[in-house]
Each structure stands twice: as structure tokens, then as C-alpha cells.
Chains A and B, each alone.
Chain A
């Protein structure tokens, strides 16, 4: 138990946070949005950070999750307990399909192919009116209902999403410790060496796409449950790029980095609201992106890591100084 003390404390802080501060509704909405992005970013980091595969079309999976939820909830009146496994199945299948070009394409070309996938889906959401409701989207999604309790308020949704974040983190943390995790990292570091050791590169690349698509799909489902309505222009390329920016700023190949990045990018506009510069948050995000790529390729969590090393060194020097 002691081993997980730090994690338990952080979780406790997040549980108590809204109770202590009593945030207003709009800030709670933003916090919930940040939580949804945390789930997406963790999944995306498995793909980009651990398996080394790029995708610029991940908003499509979020959209698929959201629309699947919306349709199943409004037309079939299904409970979220049934909807979420269906979302996992559908986004998993589509993730698998998107993974197929990754077996032949690398780097920029994979980026272009996945971008095309994203653009295609954002148009499908707009144009396939009989299913997606076109521009007016789908309204009237039922709130999640657990044993008669309805997750209707922003506060209850906060805990609903927090639960999914905890599951996401535990799954991801365990995944990277297993043989699958090591195989993914081996492929990222050297595909040739991984192949020569007998690792089925095609299989693991597809697995990485599948897992990250499921994360995004579930997050999309949470999105639909939070706002109880979905619109097509939410799930555009901008969202895909936002997800990418989150893990670059937060920290590539780090679960903590995904969390920090998602919270940072979603919440920063709120804190910069009072500055009288137009689009201050965009400017700051852009600047940070450049600075991270140049000086902290492993993101904000890397600054913390380096700071810890620096403190240790300083302490070591001090100890030696006493001896002399």
C-alpha cells in the first residue's frame, strides 16, 4: 500500500478539489472537458509515445464514440453500461482499420493518411444526415444511470469521468510493463531490431492503433454523456492537433505527461482570460510547443524530472562539502 501512497494522495486531492473550492458551473464543465482530454491523451501517448506511430485523425475516434453513444442512447434507449462496451468494440474495429496503412506507411506519409481519415470522418458526421443529424447534430442523450442514480450535474459527471481516468491510467501503466509494452517500445526504437528478434511488428502496430482508438472512443462517449448533445464540427482536425499538442507539451512517452498536457491545454485559456491580449492562450500554447520541441523534447514532466536530478546533485555536493 505504501508503494502507491503518492498516487492515492493525488487521487484524494482530485476527489476533494471540487468539494473544497465549490467551482462555478462553467469551470466545472471545463474541468470535465479536461478530464475527457486526459483519457484521449493517455491513449494517444500509447500510440505516439510508446509505439512511435503518428495519427492526425484521432478526433474521428472521439466523434465515433460520441455519435455511437448519442444514437444508442436516443434511438435505442440503452444504458451506459451497454453503450460503453459497444463503443469500445466499434472504435476498436475502426482503430484496427486505421492501423492497416501504418503497416506500409511511415512518418510523414502515415501522418497524411491518418489526417485524411480524420477529415473524411468529420465530413461523414456532417453529411450523413439520416444517422448523424447533419449540422444540427443529435440532442437529448440520456444521462448515465447507475442503479437509479442519474449523473446529471456537472459535479456527478466529474466523478463519473474521474473513474474512467483512473481505469485508463491503471490500464496504461500496466500495459507498458508487459511484453506488449516492451514490444511497442522496441518497434519505436528500432523496427529492424524488433523484427530480427521475432517480434511481429504488424501485430503490435495494429494493437497500438486499436488501443488508442478505444481510449478516444470511450472519451467520445464521456463527451456525449457530459453535454448530452453532439455536433459534427467538434470532432475536426483542430481537435486532433490539440491532442497532439497536449502530449508534446505534457510529455511524450509518459502517462503523467499525458495528464499534465491535457489539463494544461484545456485549462490555460480560462486562466489567461483576464489578460487583455486577444488569443493569449493560443499564443502561449504555440510558444510552449516551440520551446518544448527545442529544449524539452520530453515535455513539462521532463522539467520536473530534471529539477529532481538537479536537487539530488546539489544535495550530494553539499554532503561532500561537509565531509571535506
Chain B
């Protein structure tokens, strides 16, 4: 579904990604692991067209999207849920979701149906739909951020560290919902520092280190891999 070939990203003199190859098959959950500064977020930004200085090829359903505008990429069906939630705190929950459907603005969509589709995953958001988003709890804000990303009807949902700064019990809940979203036919690209959780829910995983893929494989295999366990699972 998404094929990334020899992707390089530079910020001035800093090489954030030094030639990365990634292949995401439709219907899967693929996770990308790595510590801070490994280039995980740069990878997502490059796919959604948010970085200027990049080279290589990104194919989505066979179409070259490397140099497309973000708006075009989102409307093709790639949705990016940014790190640290980044909800719009002064708008209500429903207004946040409406902005998520921004790229559908010229198509005839029944917003109410879209809201209900998101609320089915996140019943809590429905209860709070008129509430100002800044007053939500951290977990609810993360749910809103994911829900907002779902509003553009993505085929591929890219999540940047959805577990960041959340209580373990909430993290489990979020991971469960991600699994549920995937079972409804949305391919998921998951970026995580929480390697344990990410390996457990994903089908295939890549490990990034200093801008390069250092290992990849079925998540189950990686979960039992001695080297991975030592460096990322702390066991």
C-alpha cells in the first residue's frame, strides 16, 4: 500500500533519515520503533509532505506522492495524527472533528455520519462533544486527536506516539482501539517508543536507529529477538 524507497530527509546539515526503505501492506498494523532522534517523526512528516528537503520515492497505492502537497496526500487517504496530540484546545470536540474533515470540504459528505463513525470508536467523545477540547483529560485528548485524523476517511492512518505521557491503563485502552480501527479495514502505521505495546498489537515492525533501518520483521519474531529485547524492552 505504501512503499518508501531510499528516503532521505535533511534539516540543514543534519541528516535525519539516511536512506530508508519501508513497505507497508494494506490491512496491517506496522510499527516503527526507535529511541529519540532515530528519525521516526521525520519519516511521518516526509510521508505527509511536511518537510521540504527530502529525496527518494514514496508510492501510495502505486501513485508517486513524494512531491505532492499535504492537502492532496490527505485527500488521497493518508491521515497523520501528530505527536503530542496537538488538538485545538479552544475549539469544541465537534469543531476539532470538523477540521479533521477539512479535505472533504468540496465533496458531499454527511458530517453527522462521520461523527457517529468516530464516536463508535470513542464513546467518551460523544458525551463531551460540546465541551471545549482543552478541558479534556490527556487520554481523551489523544482519543480526539485520533478521531480527528479518522475524519478524513483515511485508508492509511499514521499515529505518532499515541501513548506519549498517558497512564498505562489508558495506553492499553488506546492500543485496543487502534486494533479495532485496523479491524475495520484501516491500515495503521504506528510510531512508538513503547516497544512492548507496539510489538504486541502490530503485524510487522521496523527498528530505526540514527536515521537507518537496523532491523525489521514480523512483530512476534522481534518480540522474542534477543537483541531487540535487550535494547528496547529492557529485559
Contact = CB atoms under 8 A, between A and B. Distances in A.
Interface of A: 179, 182-183, 185-186, 188-190, 192-200, 253
A198 B149 CA distance: 11
Contacts of B69: 200
B87 interface: yes
Nearest to B83: A192
Secondary structure of the A contact surface, majority rule: helix
Nearest to B48: A196
A257 B72 CA distance: 37
A253 B90 CA distance: 10
22 contacts: A179-B98, A179-B105, A182-B91, A182-B98, A183-B99, A183-B102, A185-B88, A186-B88, A190-B82, A190-B86, A192-B82, A192-B86, A195-B50, A195-B70, A196-B48, A196-B70, A196-B80, A197-B74, A197-B99, A197-B102, A197-B103, A198-B74
B91 A185 contact: yes
A187 to B, nearest CB: 9
A193 B102 contact: no
Contacts of A193: 82, 86-88, 145
A189 B96 CA distance: 11
A252 to B, nearest CB: 10
A200 B79 CA distance: 15
A199 B102 contact: yes
Contacts of B80: 196-197
Given A182-B95, A200-B71, A190 B48 contact: no
A199 B152 CA distance: 12
B88 A198 contact: no
B50 A182 contact: no
A136 B128 CA distance: 60
Nearest to B70: A198
Given A179-B105, A183-B102, A193-B86, A198 B75 contact: yes
A186 B90 CA distance: 9
Contacts of A188: 90
Nearest to B145: A193
Contacts of B99: 182-183, 186, 194, 197, 199
Nearest to A298: B90
Given A183-B102, A196-B50, A189 B90 contact: yes
A188 B86 CA distance: 11
B73 interface: yes
Counting chain A CB atoms within 10 Å of each CB, the highest count among B50, B74, B88, B148 belongs to B88
A257 to B, nearest CB: 14
Contacts of B162: none
B82 A196 contact: yes
B130 to A, nearest CB: 15
A179 B81 CA distance: 20
A189 B91 contact: yes
